[in-house]
């Protein structure tokens, strides 16, 4: 077993383990789908990864994530992580960023975002699209896709596709907002696409609405037939996880971590 080559990031001991980053083509469109409202972002990104047969090329590890490892069925462990995939559609490269969890500590949110933008800069991204849900607390038959961007150019582009700007109110918490706002300083046009969703359950409809915008924009052919199944799977997986979380092999209370001898 050999020592692995890793990329030590500048901030706070996060690091990236690269598999095949040299295969990523320049000027990709980056699509970010991290856990959030209605899991819309996660479902959209996971679905695109599967449909486009995207390949994993790098993994991001960070003390920003809880210090626990996941036990896999094959007997191995893995740390919580963000994962980078890439795929091509026609002649356009796409990079997908998915992950297990967002940092709880607010300053880690900034660190992780900056670390990842620094890393992605080597590929000179053409655009960053973050996906999220926009919680309405209502059941919506035909969810709209709301947008918030970092440049006029992005707003124009997506207004053509029916995305509504200036209608989402309040703030966007976490990565979906920070990548767009911080992307500005890196000179990368960026947009957050939010599917309207109730907010309290995993939502296939909201995911489909966002997928349709992306498909139209980049002329992707997406087969939606497995989306319902994906959503069901995701719901089941989440239930399992919640049960596992309860069972999780954690010391019961702080006392058990302490022992003076």
Query: In the window 1-30, what residues touch a copy of itself (CB under 8 A)?
Result: 1-4, 6, 11-13, 15, 17
Interface characters, 117-146, with a copy of itself (x: CB under 8 A): ---------------xxxx-----------
Q: Confirm or reject binding of residue 259 to a copy of itself (CB under 8 A).
A: yes
* Centroid of chain to Cα 14: 17
Shortest spacing between CB 25 and a copy of itself, in angstroms: 20
Residue 63: CB minimum distance to a copy of itself, A: 4
Residue selected from 29, 54, 87, 148 as contacting a copy of itself according to rule CB under 8 A: 148
Binding of residue 185 to a copy of itself (CB under 8 A): yes
* 165 belongs to the binding site for a copy of itself (CB under 8 A): yes
Cα angle 162, 206, 91; round to 5: 60
Helical packing angle, 40-51 and 227-247, nearest 10°:
120
Q: How far apart are CA 45 and CA 130, in angstroms?
A: 9
Place of tokens 């696409």: 193
Measured CA to CA, the distance from residue 66 to residue 60 in angstroms comes to 14
* Residues 6 or more apart whose Cβ sits within 8 Å of residue 50: 226, 230
- Among 52, 56, 89, 177, indicate the residue that binds a copy of itself (CB under 8 A): 177
Binding range to a copy of itself, per CB under 8 A, among 88-96, 204-212, 224-232, 238-246:
238-246
Q: What is the residue whose two structure tokens read 């590929």?
A: 123
């Amino acid at each position: 077993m050999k020592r692995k080559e890793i990329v030590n990031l500048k901030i706070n001991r996060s690091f990236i383990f690269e598999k095949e980053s040299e295969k990523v083509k320049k000027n990709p469109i980056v699509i970010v789908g991290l856990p959030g409202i209605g899991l819309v972002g996660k479902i959209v990104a996971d679905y695109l990864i599967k449909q486009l047969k995207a390949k994993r090329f790098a993994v991001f590890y960070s003390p920003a994530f809880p210090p626990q490892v996941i036990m896999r069925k094959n007997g191995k462990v893995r740390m919580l992580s963000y994962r980078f995939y890439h795929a091509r559609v026609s002649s356009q490269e796409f990079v997908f960023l998915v992950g297990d969890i967002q940092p709880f500590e607010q300053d880690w949110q900034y660190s992780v975002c900056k670390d990842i933008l620094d890393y992605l800069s080597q590929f000179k991204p053409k655009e960053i699209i973050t996906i999220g849900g926009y919680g309405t607390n209502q059941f919506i038959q035909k969810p709209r896709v709301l947008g918030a961007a970092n440049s006029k150019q992005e707003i124009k582009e997506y207004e053509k596709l029916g995305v509504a700007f200036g209608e989402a109110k309040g703030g966007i918490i976490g990565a979906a907002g920070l990548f767009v706002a911080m992307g500005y300083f890196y000179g990368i046009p960026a947009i957050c696409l939010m599917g309207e969703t109730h907010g309290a359950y995993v939502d296939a409809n909201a995911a489909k609405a966002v997928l349709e915008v992306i498909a139209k924009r980049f002329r992707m052919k997406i087969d939606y037939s497995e989306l319902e199944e994906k959503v069901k799977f995701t719901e089941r997986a989440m239930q399992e996880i919640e049960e596992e979380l309860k069972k999780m092999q954690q010391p019961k209370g702080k006392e058990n971590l302490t022992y003076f001898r």
